[in-house]
A and B are shown apart, each in its own frame.
Chain A
Amino acid sequence: MDDTLLRIDGLTKAYPGVIANDSVSFAIGKGEIHALLGENGAGKSTLVKMIYGLVKPDSGVMTLNGAPYHPAKPSEARASGVAMVFQHFSLFNALNVAENVALGMETPPPMRDLARRIRTVSETYGLPLDPSRTVGTLSAGERQRVEIIRCLLQDPRLLIMDEPTSVLTPQEVDILFETLRKLQAEGTSILYISHKLEEIRALCDHATILRLGKNVGTCVPRDTTAREMAELMVGSSFATPQARATEKGAVLLEIRDLSLPAPGAFGTPLRGISLSVRAGEVLGLGGVAGNGQDELLDALSGERLAPAGTVHLKGSDVSRKGPAHRRAEGLLSGPEERLGHAAAPDMSLTENAVLTAAHRKRLVANGFINWTRARTFAEEVIARFDVRTPGSGTAARALSGGNLQKFVVGREIAQAPDVLVLNQPTWGVDAAAAAFIRQAILDVAARGGAVIVISQDLDELMQVSDRFGALNEGRLSPLRPVAGLDIEQIGLMMGGAHDMEVADVNAWP
């Protein structure tokens, strides 16, 4: 077959205790946009790492352009014309754009020529970028451009993109798709990894679906419904969360004009944020990663104190109070990062239960920890939130992402919060666990709690929220009722004017 670029045949990779890829086969044609679809943990990352030479397969063969292809390292993959845009972890914050690009090339030209080529290529593909900017100061979308341009400079025959739209506003997604279609027209093949079905239907020619490491089907996305693909992906059906109509009660949490300087060199300042949440209400806050989400959570949990008069909990000013006091007053929070922030990786679940529940659940008396009570509470969370683990003595890091997330969210919910703030509650969690957590969030509201959910997953926010707002560069958009919001409006709330300006190539000197 002449029009096949990459053929994968029986690729298998096992890690201790788990087979990441079990005899996966498929083929990518020249100039084709091919989707690789699957849940978290389905084996997508391992598969592309094998194609990119980061991981060696245990067995199976790959053929690129009819010739055997077995890259021992990424540079060999790049030499063969395979390039990859990573979802995380391949940029260097303290280095500038040109240096970052150079690091991803085999034989980069001298810096000045490279800077010129970066400008040329970025203009050609509508991805404006200043080669001398320090990467740490770029927005998520701009950082992705660095990755893409790094690949394009090497004239790849196959471009691998790992979850590229998770960091983009809807408008930025459109720009990206333009670029990808342009590349396709020039004959470049694209392997597009995602779990967003509508995107795949809009963009891709073919899709390969992975589940638990196996290829469970190939389809033409345009001819397949999202529901069919979802069923292939998940393998079983599960209940979608049901919102209950609830009475909205008194305002439980109010923020008035909260501003905070950026916590570090590459952090985001909070700028004049005001909002209020009522009993029984879920407020969803969207926005592209790095626009103040972490900073807002820290300011609400009390990890960073806010200026006096800005954070009011049930009518009293808690701006200058730390996490312990706010928790005692009923404001509980669950940060995004499970390992290292919401939970201590090497500590047992019992010890991690003490982390936030020490006082509310009376696990401590006179400064001494009652380990029996702590264990009982941990076991209660494990049972109530269906956490799959050998027991409460297991270290947090031994749990899968979904199970640990159920534990840390459950730990807060089991303390009957008046106000619950969650950042990315279902990030990296499989679909069933995500549905479970969303239902638990709705239950808190139904019980009369006020909930703020910060998330980058718009579908999730539309599902659980009563009102929606978006964070952009530390500012909060006006809050709007979710009913009646369309994707266009959401996009404008999320990025809107700011990113459009950046996208204007001629804006540069």
Chain B
Amino acid sequence: MIRLEKRPQPSRLMSALTPVLAVVLTMVVGGMLFWALGANPFEAIRTLFWDPLFHPQFAAYSRPQLLVKAAPLILIAIGLSIGFRAGIWNIGAEGQYIMGAICGAAAGLAFYPSDSVLIFPLMILAGALGGWAWGMIPALLKTKLGTNEILVSLMLVYVAETILGSVATGLLRNPEGMGFPGSRNFKQWEAAHNAEIFAGTGTHWGVVAALIAVIFAYVLLSRHMLGYQVRLTGEAPRAARLAGVNPARMILFCLGLSGALAGMAGLFEVTGPAGQVTIDFGSGYGFTAIIVAFLGRLNPIGILLAGLLMALTYIGGELAQLMLGLPAAAIQLFQGMLLFFLLAMDVFTNFRIRLSQKAAA
């Protein structure tokens, strides 16, 4: 009979090891899935994890993509992880990401075609504000009325999507776009373009912001009183109250911060890789970032690595579509499985598995 036995304290070794175990398990089960879909499992795994970086033909294109895709994931996941640490479940990052892009883009487009150097910083600020404001809705409802933040933040994703559809075809539509939906293209407006900082590396300002966010979160959580209070709130809410933490302020901080970071990620995306506000701008980064946050163990450094890994599966997924004809949905399933296996493996951090002989009787 298998029995779980609680460890006297969480195992640090297992905590670091479980993501690796989860990745391996996902590869095995994912390989079987690809096999069932008619692809060679080894080839599929290699295409997903190896080829984007080392394929002689595609790597030159896909390597910089790694940072491009990882940056929004990391930026959003850092914000989410701080909330998750405090037991505050913002799962509407996708909505905050969209609203950040819309607000940032709108703020910039209001000054079109100015070439002031202040345009881009203004847009970043507006993007962060947009995401922040969208995050404050569930935060205020929770603090004032006790409304469940999970459901509200999620519902707001759908609201943000309808707003996106509306502005892409209305308010922000390119007046010179000959009636096509979508805003002006920021790639053609230098003052507002989130261009590569080092050509050919994929390093745009979002990457810089993501790195700063990682460092900021690391210092916050390990050294600062506020980060300590975040952790305390998540682990023992009553103890946090005893320590003098104001739970309402904690909710406002966490949802506001994760909203602002998601909004910034949206702005960097819309002015860079995406280029314009379109109906299908929302690409699911806000949801994938949830997986990234957990895969990175809600730890800033872990999230950095997890973000890169998840970006790899995105790019590898595109390659697999191209080369092996694997459907895009297979990759989505692959990512979902990763989260599942991680949560399953997590048990080893806090518990020991014991095989006990069938007890007497």
Contacts and interface: CB of A to CB of B under 8 A. Distances in A.
B58 interface: no
Interface stretch (B2-10, B330-338, B339-347): B2-10
| Chain A interface bracket (under 10, 10 to 19, 20 to 34, 35 or more) | 35 or more
Interface in A310-357: 322-325, 327, 333, 335, 337, 339-347, 351, 354-356
B10 A303 contact: no
B8 A57 contact: no
A322 B246 contact: yes
Interface in B210-244: 223-226, 228, 231-232, 235-236, 238-239, 241-244
Interface stretch (A221-229, A391-399, A426-434): A391-399
Given A56-B359, A345-B235, A368 B244 contact: no
Given A327-B244, A347-B231, A395-B8, A369 B225 contact: yes
Interface in A219-251: none
Contacts of A323: 241-244
Contacts of B10: 346, 395
Contact of A347 (B5, B235, B244, B246): B235
B110 interface: no
Contacts of B226: 367
B361 interface: yes
Contacts of B5: 16
B243 A337 contact: no
B238 A337 contact: yes
B360 interface: yes
B241 A303 contact: yes
Nearest to A339: B236
A80 to B, nearest CB: 14
A339 B237 CA distance: 11
Interface in A356-379: 356, 358, 364, 367-369, 371
A367 B223 CA distance: 9
Contacts of A327: 244
- Among B228, B244, B354, the one with the most A-chain Cβ atoms within 10 Å of its Cβ is B244
Given A56-B361, A347-B232, A395-B10, A301 B242 contact: yes
B224 A369 contact: yes
B225 A367 contact: yes
A489 interface: no
Given A341-B242, A346-B235, A58 B360 contact: yes
Contacts of A394: 9
Contact of B239 (A340, A364, A369): A340
A303 B361 CA distance: 50
B225 A70 contact: no
11 contacts: A56-B360, A72-B361, A324-B244, A340-B236, A342-B239, A343-B239, A344-B232, A345-B235, A346-B9, A347-B236, A355-B239
Interface of B: 5, 8-10, 223-226, 228, 231-232, 235-236, 238-239, 241-244, 246, 354, 359-361
Interface of A: 16, 56-59, 70, 72, 301-303, 322-325, 327, 333, 335, 337, 339-347, 351, 354-356, 358, 364, 367-369, 371, 394-395, 397-398
Closest 5 CB pairs of A and B: A324-B244, A395-B9, A398-B8, A344-B236, A323-B244
